Amino acid sequence: SLSLQGKTYVIMGVANKRSIAWGIAQSLDKAGANIIFTYAGERFEKSVRDLVATLEGKHELVLPCDVTNDEDVEKCFSTIGQEVGKIDGLAHCIAFAKTEELAGNFSDTSREGFLLAHNISAFSLTVVAKAAKPLMTEGGSIVTLTYLGGEKVVPNYNIMGVAKASLEMSVRYLAADLGKHNIRVNAISAGPIRTLSSKGVSDFNSVLKEIEERAPLRRNTTPEEVGDTALFLFSQLSRGITGETIHCDSGFHIL
């Protein structure tokens, strides 16, 4: 299997053991990578630290980073710079929208809800890419997570779909910008997975059921599958790929 021994990656967005970010952490840990974890706020610190302790590798840096706060982001990455010097990549696994706007009419989206979803779910990629860039002195790979609802209208995904479209286009502009520094930027469009965030999407169970019945592979996507796709994007095997959105969704997007 693939080895990332001697490489260092930042994983942002582990909330609990169901988080897709945790699937990525497990794949990178198995590959022997050194991992730095960032969490959203104090209420996540203990659960993230407890989870990290279950991994094989000794991953000592677990830092707070609220992506809505420029100072927090700067502080977090300057600490990472001081502690490890160089990083090889970053997994951005962060999104948020108001639960009441993940149901009902899209036309009822509020200005505040629109801006909040874009701030946390889309702009955050650009702000962390900027902060991480000086640490990727030997090139790097940035991976973010998106969903089909950013390409096609998916019932109830609403404002998050519009934010994902912004995120996916941000991936392309960042790839064009950072390519000259040998930094690659890609997205994984994951099939629906039951997590803390997806609980907020109204009628999520019927979305999962439809995948089992209709997706080419006739089964739902797992965090482990997304983790291994991220492992590929972090490895040299994907060195020719940037600005891409890879679907890891049992093939559902082709229907």
Here the tokens at position 190 are: 């994951």
Question: Which range binds ligand 0WD by CB under 6 A, 15-23, 51-59, 100-108, 175-183?
Answer: 15-23
Catalytic annotation present for 9: no
Here the tokens at position 236 are: 């040299």
Binding flag, residue 147, ligand 0WD (CB under 6 A) = yes
Q: Is there a contact between 243 and 176 (Cβ–Cβ < 8 Å)?
A: yes
Binding flag, residue 19, ligand 0WD (CB under 6 A) = yes
User: Where do the H-state alpha helices sit in 15-157?
Assistant: 20-30, 42-52, 70-84, 111-118, 124-132
Here the tokens at position 151 are: 């390409």
* Min CB(155)–ligand 0WD separation in Å: 14
Binding flag, residue 135, ligand 0WD (CB under 6 A) = no
Burial of 197 by CB count in 10 Å (0-12 exposed, 13-18 middle, 19+ buried)? buried
Nearer to ligand 0WD, 138 or 153 (CB): 153
Binding flag, residue 145, ligand 0WD (CB under 6 A) = yes
Residue 73 to residue 230: CA distance in whole angstroms: 22
* Min CB(140)–ligand 0WD separation in Å: 20
Question: Binding marks (x or -) toward ligand 0WD, 192..211, rule CB under 6 A?
Answer: xx-xxxx-------------
* Min CB(40)–ligand 0WD separation in Å: 3
Binding flag, residue 156, ligand 0WD (CB under 6 A) = no
Catalytic annotation present for 39: no
Question: Which range binds ligand 0WD by CB under 6 A, 1-9, 125-133, 176-184, 191-199?
Answer: 191-199
* Residue 61 CB partners (closer than 8 Å, separation 6+): 36, 37, 79, 80, 83, 84
The residue count of the chain comes to 255
Residue 136 to residue 5: CA distance in whole angstroms: 17
Binding flag, residue 190, ligand 0WD (CB under 6 A) = yes
71: Cα within 13 Å, side-chain hemisphere: 0
Residue 80 to residue 54: CA distance in whole angstroms: 22
Question: Which range binds ligand 0WD by CB under 6 A, 59-67, 76-84, 104-112, 234-242?
Answer: 59-67
* Min CB(23)–ligand 0WD separation in Å: 8
Nearer to ligand 0WD, 115 or 138 (CB): 115
Residue 248 to residue 236: CA distance in whole angstroms: 19
* Residue 75 CB partners (closer than 8 Å, separation 6+): none
Nearer to ligand 0WD, 140 or 223 (CB): 223
Residues that bind ligand 0WD (CB under 6 A): 13, 15, 19-21, 40, 44, 65-68, 93-96, 120, 145-147, 190, 192-193, 195-198
**Active site (catalytic) residues:** 147, 157
